[in-house]
Structure 1
């Protein structure tokens, strides 16, 4: 039986991975996070919880030597882009130093590391990008994630880097919203919203991203894989599709461009991913953005029932 260690298991992707893997009889799951589990109580007999601070090499080594996992799916990171810009030391510790600790432990115990990265390693000058594109980050978050990739690529452990884009979804006990919920809540309360038309992304349903990671694990795939949605959209497009799905007033949505917003961290304009490699080599098949809205809508109804 293979053992899988998931870092950041309380987060959106972490929860989707646990949900997708918890009933598999060929796997033993070790879920980890900083502090206590916030996963649903009904799942608690289907994984082992380990409180693990990824910035502490002794804590990592203790968990690794106790469980000797075959794979680590490393989802834990500091991902709030403006927080990373404002607190560079904490960002580097969480996104780079922690990865160096994990890599060292993976090398020591012969563990296959599956690491989550981002489209923000690119400058957004000529997206969408394939796996061969040359990174050039425009903010500190992107710099930290690129530095982590470089550490992994130089390592002697088996590795796969999963690059993704604008992940959205619903999970238990999560405070962070997403563009679909923000648009839905704003329009339902009659608010006018300004949404940018000059940024392009391939938004990714969290369930699809989890499936991509699982395909990599099941096939022991190595290398870099773009795992994202298939639709190339602006946030304005995403807002219109959300309004259309829920039957809300599109006239409340106004066009804006990035210069209208003042944020500590610069955002790359046109990112998004070409996902042909993941489709052909892994059998990856993501949902459309409209289908993703439908999945969220069902989950919202279940959560309210």
Structure 2
């Protein structure tokens, strides 16, 4: 990376230890005139091969002091805010912590970014909607039915009220794999369960537009480079039930679909209510950014290749 240039962009990423964070760092470190400041709690879990191409800062976004210190040190021009407690049940069971991280943490970042005039891209979720009338366009009115969705909606409001140039990227059921990350997703869960000969229950009465993490990272990069402003819905284009996703996963890997048991969401006891039918209409991001997501089957194939590489 050539940093000996007159002008370059300093991009600060929060949540860099997460799945999207991994992919964003991977994309950005190979761009000219970009200095990447990757941040997260504790030590970096990014692949060792990336280490010389970015700078790591341990930063707890809920600490105003830590946030201000990192911003003063690096003076970013762009912030990609991907850090959050994203597990809906965890947020429901730990509302105070969810509020501190997802709302106050976002407030700390926005206030710091305002001092440096940053462009600010905020990752949000389909869970800001109640799921009664999906799939949704950007202008539809949010009405979260769980605490996670509420915290992300409050974060959106803080950004809208700021003096920043901003974009909000809402996304849906992100899936993918990254080196050093063990967090599962529906494809991995179905594949591993069926390979082990387990019968699994999969819901038929929820609808989503599942999002390949590489597609989401690509869309974020496009927005950062163009400095897009406003709300954007970024997801896959196919509206699918989890059961349909499970069937497609079984088909791809040649596994026994008879082990898939269709059930209603009411079968499961979960702390956080799930919106039944969300998913996104993505015409805005397709038209404005020429974004075209992979099909779900193509996404399974990309994930399968990555798993193969990881095992070799």
TM-score scaled by structure 2? 0.97
Secondary structure of the structure 1 residue equivalent to 2:131: coil
The question of 1:67 aligning with 2:74 is answered yes
Within 2, Cα distance between the matches of 1:121 and 1:273? 12
Secondary structure of the structure 1 residue equivalent to 2:163: coil
CA deviation after TM superposition for structure 1 residue 173, in Å: 2.0
Matches within 5 A, 1:165-244: 165-244=172-251
CA deviation after TM superposition for structure 1 residue 172, in Å: 2.1
Cα RMSD, aligned residues only: 0.6
Secondary structure of the structure 2 residue equivalent to 1:293: helix
Residue equivalent to 2:102: 95
Within 1, Cα distance between the matches of 2:182 and 2:89? 17
Residue equivalent to 1:133: 140
Within 2, Cα distance between the matches of 1:46 and 1:110? 25
Residue equivalent to 1:256: 263
What is the aligned counterpart of 1:11 among 10, 14, 18? 18
Structure 1 residue runs of 4+, over 6 Å off? Answer: none
CA deviation after TM superposition for structure 1 residue 25, in Å: 1.6
What is the aligned counterpart of 2:130 among 119, 123, 128? 123
Within 2, Cα distance between the matches of 1:285 and 1:215? 12
Q: Deviation string for 1:100-119 (max 9, x for gaps)?
A: 11111111110011000000
Within 1, Cα distance between the matches of 2:180 and 2:307? 13
Q: Deviation string for 1:11-66 (max 9, x for gaps)?
A: 00000001111111221111010111011111100100011110011111111111
Within 1, Cα distance between the matches of 2:287 and 2:72? 36
Q: Deviation string for 1:123-168 (max 9, x for gaps)?
A: 0000000000000010000111111101110111111000000000
Size of the alignment, in residue pairs? 305
TM-score scaled by structure 1? 0.99
Residue equivalent to 2:286: 279
Structure 1 spans left out of the alignment, 5+ residues: none
Within 1, Cα distance between the matches of 2:32 and 2:144? 41
Secondary structure of the structure 2 residue equivalent to 1:83: helix
